[in-house]
Amino acid sequence: GCDASVLLDSPTNTAEKNAAPNLSLAGFEVIDEVKAALEEACPGIVSCADIVALAARDSVSFQYKKNLWEVETGRRDGTVSSDQEALRNIPAPTSTFDILLSNFSSKGLGLEDLVVLSGGHTIGVGHCNLFSTRLFNFTGKDNPSDVDPSINPPYAKFLQGQCRRNLQDLNDNTTVVPMDPGSSLSFDNHYFVNVKAHQGMFTSDAALLTNDRSANIVDKLQDSGVFFDSFKNSIKRMGQIGVLTGTNGQIRKKCNVVNS
Q: In 3-state terms, what secondary structure has residue 114?
A: helix
Instruction: Please check if 11 is assigned to a binding site.
Output: no
What phi and psi values does residue 92 have, to the nearest 5 degrees? -75, 145
Beta-ladder partners of 176? 127
User: What is the length of the chain?
Assistant: 260
Among residues 126, 131, 145, 135, the alpha carbon closest in space to that of 95 is found at 131
Instruction: Please check if 91 is assigned to a binding site.
Output: yes
CA-to-CA distance for 116 and 101, rounded, in angstroms? 12
Q: Which residues are CB-neighbours of 185 under 8 A, at least 6 positions away?
A: 123
Instruction: Please check if 16 is assigned to a binding site.
Output: yes
DSSP 221-243: TTSHHHHHHHHHHHHHHHTTTT-
Are the CB atoms for 23 and 90 separated by under 8 Å? Answer: no
Instruction: Please check if 180 is assigned to a binding site.
Output: yes
Among residues 138, 43, 31, the alpha carbon closest in space to that of 94 is found at 138
Q: Which residues are CB-neighbours of 159 under 8 A, at least 6 positions away?
A: 131, 134, 135, 151, 177, 201
CA-to-CA distance for 50 and 181, rounded, in angstroms? 31
Instruction: Please check if 5 is assigned to a binding site.
Output: yes
Instruction: Please check if 146 is assigned to a binding site.
Output: no
Instruction: Please check if 122 is assigned to a binding site.
Output: yes
Q: In 3-state terms, what secondary structure has residue 180?
A: coil
Question: Residue ranges for the binding site for substrate?
Answer: 91
Annotated binding site: 1, 3, 5, 16, 91, 121-122, 180, 188
Q: Which residues are annotated as a binding site for Ca(2+)?
A: 1, 3, 5, 16, 122, 180, 188
Q: What are the binding residues for heme b?
A: 121
